[in-house]
Amino acid sequence: PVPARLGLVTGTARGTNINAGGKTLYTVEHLLSAAAGLGVDDLDIEISGEEPPAMDGSALPFAEALLTAGLEEKPGQLRACARLAAPVEFLKGETRYRAAPGPAGLAFRLVYEYPHRLVGRQALELRLTPETYLTQVAPARTFGFDHEIAALKAAGLALGGSLENAVVITEAEVLAKGGLRFADEFARHKLLDLIGDLALGGLAFDGLTIEAQRPGHAGNINFAKILTENCTEPQ
């Protein structure tokens, strides 16, 4: 088995990869995001292959599958929630993360910016619950720029990538099957990824507000390490 833990992260290029015992699992963030977003913190996952299926590029199929299977609380087992005593930050270039004590629950403020006329600046605020995750975060699909995808395929990567499982941004237009699901779908998918990467810390957070500016997988993992190191023991 490969535990889903921060210490086992071995790659953050175009996704988050974990490795244990010589076995690498790629792009685990969407599946972990679905579990964390629904409040699932005890789960065995069997994968036949090196990565979870891309599905439609979002976490919604995974979330729906978990709900269809059914979720239940373990008898006699209380969920432990970690808290933060003082604000913490991670800064690198134009990327910034900050977590601070806040009201009960877990809230996010996220800004995604990219110098492209069809992207620009997207900002969102969301208080995370299973309901808000399912309707406001899980459906947001992964996205990429056409020149990046061409380079990846030339290198033998992302060979399964298509409009069936990604939103593609060209110089002239945004290509998305069925159109964009949200006006700020790119920012929402960045939040989806952040939730999945934070899940590798193995903690459930309460009374916390997280801000992220221009997040990405590498930054997510570095921030998750700082956050978990500074949280109080779960109570």
Among candidate residues 9, 22, 34, 10, the one with its CA nearest the CA of residue 134:
34
Residue 52 pLDDT > 70: yes
Helix axes 29-37, 60-69, angle to 10 degrees: 50
The domain segmentation of the chain, as residue ranges, is 6-230
Give the residue numbers marked as catalytic: 217
Share the mean pLDDT of the chain: 92
Residue 159 pLDDT > 50: no
* pLDDT, tens digit, 9 for 90 and up, residues 190-200: 999 999 999 99
Between CA 97 and CA 115 the distance in angstroms is 20
Query: What's the token pair of residue 182?
Result: 């949200």
6-230 has which fold?
A: lpxc deacetylase, domain 1 (3.30.1700)
Mean pLDDT of 42-69: 95
* pLDDT, tens digit, 9 for 90 and up, residues 101-127: 999 999 999 999 999 999 999 999 999
Between CA 105 and CA 12 the distance in angstroms is 28
